[in-house]
Amino acid sequence: MVNFSKILGLEQLKHDDGILGIFDGDEMRITTSSYSAVTLAKLFWRYGLDIYNIRSWVKDVTEKFSRIYTIQDAGFAYTSVMDLLQAMDPVFVKYMKKSIKSVLKADGYSDRFIDEFVTGAMRTNYGQNADIHGFVGAVSLAGVEPGLWSVKGGNYRIPENLIPLSKINLIQGDVKSITLLEYQESNYELRYLPTSPKLANNAEIQTKGYDVIVIANPMHDGFPDIKFEDFPNEIKNFPQKFHRIIATFVDGVPNNTHYGFENLDGFPSTILTCKNDLFLNSYGKHNDVLGNPAEKSVGDRSVGKIFTNRPPTEQEVNIYFKKKEDVRMVNWLAYPEYDFDIDNLPPFVLHDNMYYINGIEMAASAMEMSVIGARNVALLSYNHWYGHLDKIDEPYVDPSQKSDKAEL
């Protein structure tokens, strides 16, 4: 994503860390300060060295993760998510088989740190708890470390600007079916309903032939079904479930008394919650996509976002906001439920020359992961097409590390 933002000349908007609080439903377990020395002292008092060590833990994991960029630059690609993780670092395969709670416990982190800080991070980033697997847990922890950024103007500007740069012929439409062809000019026939606004309701089903198909949309219950016709083996949605999340944006004033604050002085800009049965996953104060306070923010008024696992009723919104000028809700299947059978993950290859990117979300759902999954599929299809089998499912060995013996 960093490279894309540079290539496209998009500005990175650094996020101000602000005051962070962790709420257990009755009281704040910790509230940081606008003075960094006070924050450090408070975090150290509550979590001891865990709060320092987690930073180097995430750094170490990120360095291992970053190997994927060298591997992909060298043209290597993988047919399964586990092979891709194994190529980055074998420890990631182990993380997929344990919960983040047990990974961190084995690395010496305290129950208090895991039950408050780690659980809070999992609840805000993935709507789940510290029982989710260790790899997605690590990604989630990377997401609460300082230094987070977004694209000025909105993250959507990355894919939007990549489309003209790639010079593709974009046809907007809903894919209805993919038929395997035999001994014809192309490998597949795709049937789709154009969705261009110009066509309004007059669109008719169209067909088009393709040599290679890449599916970049989750194939799970709750997502539109594509019919796969004339394949020797049945191709259907995968069994893993997706997690529904509701983001409710409120232009108004947060209800400080609910969290035990007498007024809004020192009220956190981010509140994580740390009990699994709580309705509220997290609260966050939001600027607009240009980094400015929301247009009508005056006095105590601001835009706040709460994440919940089901739509809040009006009474429930009133618990978290004492004044509301405008309320908007976004309700979507955001990421997998990370409690699936690890031995049964979706593959990157559905059939010869037909690929599927979104299986990568089973490792972790995040923009960076989607980009890595997409590049893997692009390399995989290239390597298959041109017969570069030595670059498929092979461990990458850095040429500068090869000894003479290894050469022989």
Ligand X SMILES: CC(C)=CCC/C(C)=C/CC/C(C)=C/CSC[C@H](N)C(=O)O
Binding site for ligand X (CB under 6 A): 58, 61-62, 65, 125-126, 138-140, 142-143, 335, 365-369
Give yes or no for a contact between 178 and 190, defined as CB atoms under 8 angstroms apart: yes
Closest CB to ligand X among residues 139, 235: 139
Closest CB to ligand X among residues 85, 226: 85
Closest CB to ligand X among residues 96, 138: 138
CB of 132 to ligand X, least distance (A): 11
Closest CB to ligand X among residues 20, 58: 58
Strand bridging mode 270-273 / 280-286? antiparallel
CB of 72 to ligand X, least distance (A): 14
Give yes or no for a contact between 152 and 11, defined as CB atoms under 8 angstroms apart: yes
Closest CB to ligand X among residues 320, 338: 338
CB of 100 to ligand X, least distance (A): 11
CB of 86 to ligand X, least distance (A): 14
Among 310, 340, 261, 348, CA closest to 87: 348
Give the integer Cα–Cα distance in Å for 96 and 81.
Answer: 10
Give the integer Cα–Cα distance in Å for 23 and 26.
Answer: 7
Give yes or no for a contact between 58 and 145, defined as CB atoms under 8 angstroms apart: yes
CB of 6 to ligand X, least distance (A): 17
H/E element holding 142?
helix 134-142
Closest CB to ligand X among residues 126, 267: 126
Closest CB to ligand X among residues 160, 230: 160
Judged on CB neighbours under 10 Å (0-12, 13-18, 19+), 319 is middle
Cα-Cα-Cα-Cα dihedral sign, residues 114, 279, 307, 41: negative
CB of 107 to ligand X, least distance (A): 14
H/E element holding 205?
none
Give the integer Cα–Cα distance in Å for 129 and 2.
Answer: 29
Strand bridging mode 270-273 / 20-23? parallel
The SS3 call for residue 295 is coil
Closest CB to ligand X among residues 252, 304: 304
Give yes or no for a contact between 242 and 222, defined as CB atoms under 8 angstroms apart: yes
Residue sitting closest to ligand X (CB): 143
Give the integer Cα–Cα distance in Å for 303 and 326.
Answer: 9
CB of 258 to ligand X, least distance (A): 24
